C-alpha cells in the first residue's frame, strides 16, 4: 500500500500536467486524469466555435442591445486590468455595446494593472465606475483568513467584486453582466483548491471568529440576494470568450496594439497580493501550485504543449529578488512582522467547512446550473 501511495504521489497525467496534489484526481488505465476529461466535457457543452460561435454571439449581442433599448447601458463589465476582462472590453467596443466598466479596487493593484485599466477606459470611451473597498475593513478580513488558516484567501476579493457588480447592475437596471471567465484558459481548477465565492455565511463566520472591526461598507451578497438578482431581477452572466476562438497570447497582442496594454506576467498577477498568494502562500503552506491547472487548461485548449508546460513548471514561480520584494511589500501593507506571518504559515490547515457554510446549497445550485445551461446555453448562472 505504501509503495502504491508513493507512486500515486508522483503520477502526472499523460495528457495534461495535473498530479496528485489534487486529492480528488483519478487516473484511467491509460494514465489520463479526470481533470482533462472534465475539461473536454465542459468544452463540448459550453464552448461554441467557428461559424456556430459567430452566429451565437451575434444573436446574444443583438438581444443585449434590444433589452438595453431606452436604457443608459446595455451591459456591465468588471474590469481588472488583466487579459481576459480587457479583451472582453475590446470585443464589446467592436460590437458597439454601451458598457459600464466597473473596477473594484482592493488596494492591491500592481502599477501595470492601474495603467491597463486607464488605457482600456480611455480608448474604449466607456463610462467607468471605480468601487474602492475600505482598506481597513479589507485588511481585517485578510488577517482573519490568515488566522483561520483556510486555503482560499481570495474569496474576500472575489465575493466583493461579484457583490459590487451585481448591486451596481441592479441599481442601473442592467440585465447583462459581461464576464471574462472562459473555458479555454480557466476550464480546469480542482474543487479542493477553491471555495465558493458567493458563500457569505462562511466569510462572515471566519470574520466573526477572527476579525477585529465591523464590516460597515464591505459589499456583501447573501444567498437570498443572490437568488433575487437572478430570479427577480433577471440579471444574467454572459461569457463572450466562450463564443470565439479565444487564444490568450493572440488576445494579449491585440490588446497591446489596440490599447497600449501591458503584460503583467502570470495569470491573475495584476494583483500583487494574488501573485504572492499563488506564488508563495499556496505552494508553501497548502502544497498547491495553480500553474498546474492553468497550464493543463492551455494544453487541453491547444494553446501550449505538455512539454512546454512541464518545462515552465520546472522553473520557480518567483525569482529570488522578486519574491523578497513582494513579501516585504505584502507584510508591510498588512502591518505584519515576519514572525507574525510565519506563525500564520505554521498554523494547522483548516477546511472552510469547519466554519459556517452554505456550500451544500451552492452545490445544489451548481447542479441546477448544468440543467439551466443545457436549456439556455447562451446565458449562464454566476456559479
Global confidence as pTM: 0.91
State yes or no: pLDDT of 4 exceeds 60. Answer: no
| pLDDT over 50 (residue 5) | no
Within a domain: residue 20?
no
CATH number at residue 227: 3.40.50.620
Domain that holds residue 356: 49-375
Closest residue by Cα to residue 211 from 143, 297, 165: 143
Residue 330 within a domain = yes
Determine the pLDDT at residue 364: 72
DSSP, collapsed to helix, strand or coil, labels residue 305 as: coil
Residue 28 forms part of a structural domain:
no
- pLDDT given for residue 3 in this prediction: 41
- Assigned domain for 349 exists: yes
Buried b (16+ CB within 10 A) or exposed e, 217-226: ebbebbeebb
Residue 367's pLDDT band, with cuts at 50, 70 and 90, is low
53 vs 12: CA distance, rounded Å: 33
> What number of other Cβ atoms are within 10 A of residue 275's Cβ?
24
- The tens digit of pLDDT for each residue in 222-252 reads 988 988 998 889 999 999 999 999 999 999 9
**How far is the CA of 152 from the CAs of 52, 135, 233, 253, 362, in angstroms?**
37, 19, 30, 31, 16
Is 229 within a domain? yes
In a domain, 356, yes or no: yes
Say if 104 falls within a structural domain. Answer: yes
Q: How does pLDDT run across 159-172, given as a tens digit for each residue?
A: 999 999 999 999 99
CA distance 153 to 282: 10
Domain count, the chain: 1
Range 96-107 average pLDDT:
98
Asked if 272 and 110 count as a contact pair (C-beta separation under 8 A), the reply is yes
Kindly tell me if the per-residue pLDDT of 380 is higher than 70.
Answer: no
Report if residue 43 sits inside a domain: no
Mean pLDDT confidence for 39-58: 94
pLDDT of 267 over the 90 cut:
no
Average pLDDT over the chain, rounded to whole? 91
pLDDT value at residue 9: 55
What would the pLDDT profile of 313-352 be if each residue is shown by its tens digit?
999 999 878 999 999 999 999 999 999 999 999 999 999 9
Q: Quick one: average pLDDT of 144-166?
A: 97
Q: Residue 323 CB: number of other CB atoms within 10 A?
A: 16
**Quick check: 373 pLDDT over 60?**
no
Q: How confident is the model at residue 369 (pLDDT cuts 50, 70, 90)?
A: low
Nearest alpha-carbon partner for 151 in 323, 295, 22 = 22
Amino acid at each position: 500500500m505504501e509503495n502504491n501511495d508513493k507512486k500515486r504521489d508522483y503520477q502526472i497525467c499523460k495528457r495534461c500536467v495535473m498530479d496528485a496534489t489534487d486529492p480528488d484526481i483519478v487516473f484511467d488505465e491509460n494514465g489520463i486524469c479526470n481533470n482533462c476529461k472534465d475539461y473536454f466535457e465542459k468544452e463540448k457543452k459550453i464552448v461554441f466555435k467557428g461559424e456556430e460561435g459567430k452566429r451565437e454571439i451575434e444573436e446574444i449581442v443583438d438581444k443585449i442591445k434590444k433589452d438595453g433599448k431606452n436604457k443608459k447601458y446595455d451591459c456591465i463589465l468588471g474590469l481588472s486590468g488583466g487579459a481576459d476582462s480587457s479583451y472582453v472590453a475590446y470585443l464589446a467596443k467592436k460590437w458597439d455595446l454601451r458598457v459600464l466598466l466597473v473596477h473594484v479596487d482592493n488596494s492591491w493593484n500592481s502599477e501595470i494593472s492601474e495603467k491597463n485599466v486607464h488605457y482600456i477606459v480611455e480608448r474604449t470611451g466607456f463610462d467607468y465606475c471605480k468601487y474602492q473597498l475600505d482598506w481597513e475593513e479589507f485588511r481585517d478580513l485578510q488577517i482573519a483568513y490568515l488566522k483561520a488558516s483556510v486555503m482560499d484567501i481570495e474569496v474576500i476579493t472575489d465575493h466583493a467584486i461579484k457583490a459590487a457588480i451585481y448591486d451596481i447592475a441592479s441599481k442601473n437596471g442592467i440585465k447583462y453582466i459581461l464576464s471574462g471567465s472562459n473555458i479555454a484558459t480557466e476550464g480546469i481548477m480542482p474543487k479542493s483548491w477553491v471555495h465558493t465565492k458567493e458563500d457569505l455565511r462562511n466569510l462572515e463566520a471566519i470574520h466573526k471568529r477572527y476579525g477585529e472591526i465591523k464590516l460597515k461598507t464591505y459589499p456583501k451578497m447573501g444567498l437570498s440576494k443572490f437568488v433575487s438578482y437572478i430570479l427577480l431581477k433577471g440579471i444574467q452572466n454572459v461569457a463572450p470568450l466562450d463564443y470565439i476562438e479565444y487564444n490568450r497570447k493572440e488576445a494579449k497582442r491585440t490588446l497591446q496594439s489596440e490599447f497600449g496594454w501591458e503584460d503583467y506576467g502570470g495569470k491573475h498577477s495584476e494583483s500583487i497580493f494574488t501573485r504572492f498568494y499563488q506564488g508563495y502562500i499556496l505552494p508553501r503552506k497548502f502544497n498547491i501550485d495553480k500553474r498546474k491547472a492553468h497550464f493543463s487548461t492551455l494544453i487541453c485548449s491547444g494553446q501550449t504543449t505538455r512539454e512546454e508546460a512541464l518545462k515552465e513548471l520546472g522553473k520557480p514561480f518567483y525569482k529570488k529578488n522578486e519574491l523578497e520584494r513582494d513579501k516585504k511589500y505584502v507584510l508591510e501593507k498588512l502591518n505584519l512582522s515576519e514572525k507574525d506571518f510565519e506563525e500564520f504559515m505554521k498554523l494547522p490547515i483548516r477546511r472552510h467547512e469547519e466554519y459556517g457554510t452554505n456550500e451544500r446549497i451552492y452545490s445544489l445550485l451548481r447542479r441546477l446550473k448544468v440543467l439551466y445551461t443545457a436549456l439556455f446555453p447562451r446565458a449562464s448562472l454566476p456559479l
